[in-house]
Amino acid sequence: MAGQEQVLYTEDNIRSLDWKEHIRMRPGMYIGKLGDGQSADDGIYVLLKEIIDNCIDEHAMGHGKSVRIHIREGEVKVRDYGRGIPLGKVVDVVSKINTGGKYDSRAFKKSVGLNGVGAKAVNALSVDFAVESFREGQAKRADFKRGELTNDAELAPTEERNGTLISFRPDTEVFKAYSYRMEHVERLLWNYAYLNTNLALYLNGEKFKSENGLKDLLNNNLGTDPRYPIIHLVGEDIEVAVAHTDAYGEDYQSFVNGQFTPQGGTHQSAFREAYVRVVRDFFGKDYDSADIRSGISAAFAIKVEEPVFESQTKTKLGSAEMGPNRPTLKSFVYDFLKRELDNFLHRNPESAQLLQARILQSERERKDLAGIKKLARERAKKSSVHNKKLRDCRIHLGDSKKERNQESTLFITEGDSASGSITKARDVQTQAVFSLKGKPLNCFGLTKKVVYENEEFNLLQAALNIEDDLDNLRYNNVVIATDADVDGMHIRLLLITFFLQFFPDLVKRGHLYVLQTPLFRVRNKKETTYCYSENEKQDALQALGAKSEITRFKGLGEISPDEFSHFIGEDIRLDPVVIGKESRIKEMMTFFMGKNTPDRQSFIIENLRVEKDLLEE
């Protein structure tokens, strides 16, 4: 075409990449997003998981009762006590794509890692990678750098127990300024422990072990007390723990062959559908499915032969069958619940009565809200037309139901100046902005009615598209962006309270973040450094000179759009809002957002005193 540069397409344009070059050029195909360790699904945790998955598969086949993990200063070591890699294949197993023992179903049945990729991806994306295998008194070691073999050691005698030791250090050329957050690693290890009750895992010496499987998982993760004792059902290739609370929404933690599937899939859909059918049959009532599942919290694990996941990161199951010559997932899950859940409810009439009471409560609330919700939807639709609150990103414009992109982000901010700066600085393709007007309402202890009656909450809910089902969430990352002052902190708390009160699953699934913005700008005539803490400021002064100009940012509106582009681009710093294993949402919100209590006053005074002491040092 005229005006366009003509590009030749010849044999010289065709390239063949070897395995490590392809992984390093397209890491997202193998480990999802890269990240820096702030988020639980960042690449460095996928690397760790790929190695541990191999240990779990060994344990599942009856080999090895413990796994030891050490993480220090970015280096990871994982030791299992399984059979060990066959010594003549140690190099091949970690450096040749489509090489591994899991293609042989006799050696690995119902395994997670079936594609022969995991350990190779870790190898290619690590600046240093070492594998050692110990089998029957002999040891074999191989060392690599970014996938290149640097040492292929001879067999040597050893007194080590059978098993495998993998050491690796993620490459900073790929993972910029990464660091492992122990809360994410601990959650990963607890999931392994819940699913393998005969297995002990150790992280830097700390033990992770579960006696009661998914019942322990649910008990440790419920944000509030259940309406009835947790129902725990175990069968061949399936385990279920389920309860109802007074929380809103539905909360599921599903697993396939020991693999956590945060995006669900066919197995989770089968469970949700089967649960409704069994409950309706038991009570002989055609209850609305939303009422039956309102407030449900469930953990669900299933074992499938040759599972098919929708990506290499295995976050969503695509299989519809249990395996060759086995039933469909739907029929298998339904038959199990029809037998076991129905029996449990017949044997435990008190629990059945409490479950029915929760269903009826949800039904009443739904009917009471029907009129209000209709008016609220009309207001939200009208506001959306005029685009008063939301500056959407291009991947969503005109399609509120579109499946969220893994990189899509919604910034929630307050005030015209702050929202204006972010709007001008954002990536319009994947980043959207929702502008609040003043401080939102403290909704702690209020019913969901307030979400529809309060304009800010109603429009925010509509923008996120989470009224009916969190699976419809339009943005993968929901980021609270407020000033780093007292008012900004208060707005941040009020927004977190809103999500914990009405949409706790959004927080539990790792979608909610707080944006870090710099407190200081330090610059001389040649260089500018942005600092997020007093310590960083002192380091910058030392590097740039004591006579450098220092600017203290008091609010987001003071940061120009040109500068803001640095803070919400590749180098964005996000703090995930994480609910700890021991945290109970109701008690936590009562303490922080309920009526003033002497305990909270003492907490505030003590922490102000600590902060004052730190500033004086």
| 121 plus 154 within the same structural domain | yes
What the block records as the tokens of 62 is 């009856």
| 179 plus 220 within the same structural domain | no
Is residue 109 a part of any domain in this protein? yes
Is residue 225 a part of any domain in this protein? yes
| 336 plus 296 within the same structural domain | yes
Is residue 381 a part of any domain in this protein? no
Handedness of CA 455, 456, 458, 464 (dihedral sign): positive
Is residue 600 a part of any domain in this protein? no
Enumerate residues 6+ apart whose C-beta is below 8 A from 197.
209, 210, 211, 212, 213
Angle at 134 between CA 132 and CA 136, to 5 degrees: 160
Do the Cβ atoms of 107 and 101 come closer than 8 Å? yes
Expressed as residue numbers, the domain containing 527 is 520-552
Do the Cβ atoms of 441 and 456 come closer than 8 Å? yes
Give per-residue pLDDT as tens, 456-509.
Answer: 888 898 889 888 777 788 898 999 998 877 788 888 888 998 998 888 888 888
Per DSSP, helices labelled H in 411-567 are: 416-425, 449-453, 455-464, 486-502, 504-508, 534-544, 561-567
Calculate mean pLDDT across residues 572-581.
77
DSSP readout, 545-600? Answer: -TTSEEEE--SGGGS-HHHHHHHSSTT--EEE----TT--HHHHHHHHHSS--HHH
pLDDT above 60: residue 399:
no
The pTM (predicted TM-score) of the whole model is 0.76
CATH at 396: 3.40.50.670
| 291 plus 178 within the same structural domain | no
Do the Cβ atoms of 362 and 448 come closer than 8 Å? no
Is residue 594 a part of any domain in this protein? no
CATH at 297: 3.30.230.10
Per the listing, tokens 């780093």 go with 484
With helix as H, strand as E and coil as C, how does 239-255 read? EEEEEECCCCCCEEEEE
What is d(CA 361, CA 291) in angstroms, rounded to the nearest whole number?
8
Do the Cβ atoms of 316 and 259 come closer than 8 Å? no
Do the Cβ atoms of 193 and 324 come closer than 8 Å? no
| 194 plus 106 within the same structural domain | yes
pLDDT above 50: residue 610:
no
The last residue of a domain, from among 175, 193, 208: 208
| 505 plus 419 within the same structural domain | yes
Q: Which of 112, 34, 48, 39 is nearest to 77 (CA)?
A: 48
Percent of the chain past pLDDT 90, that is, above it, reads 35
| 115 plus 222 within the same structural domain | no
How many structural domains are present in the chain?
4
- Name the least confident of 300-314, 322-336, 410-424: 300-314
Backbone angles phi and psi of 28, in degrees to 5:
-60, -30
Half-sphere exposure of 80 (CA within 13 A, CB side): 23
Do the Cβ atoms of 245 and 226 come closer than 8 Å? yes
Give per-residue pLDDT as tens, 530-553.
Answer: 888 888 899 899 888 888 899 888
Do the Cβ atoms of 436 and 442 come closer than 8 Å? no
What the block records as the tokens of 407 is 């990189």
The pLDDT value recorded for residue 266 is 87
Enumerate residues 6+ apart whose C-beta is below 8 A from 180.
37, 44, 45, 48, 71, 74, 76
Is residue 378 a part of any domain in this protein? no
| 221 plus 105 within the same structural domain | no
User: What one-character DSSP code corresponds to residue 309?
Assistant: B
Enumerate residues 6+ apart whose C-beta is below 8 A from 290.
362, 366, 468
| 25 plus 125 within the same structural domain | yes
The pLDDT value recorded for residue 370 is 76
Give per-residue pLDDT as tens, 269-279.
Answer: 999 999 999 99
The pLDDT value recorded for residue 609 is 45
The pLDDT value recorded for residue 106 is 45
User: What one-character DSSP code corresponds to residue 484?
Assistant: S
The pLDDT value recorded for residue 394 is 84
Handedness of CA 432, 437, 442, 445 (dihedral sign): negative
Higher-pLDDT residue of 574, 396 = 574
| 340 plus 250 within the same structural domain | yes
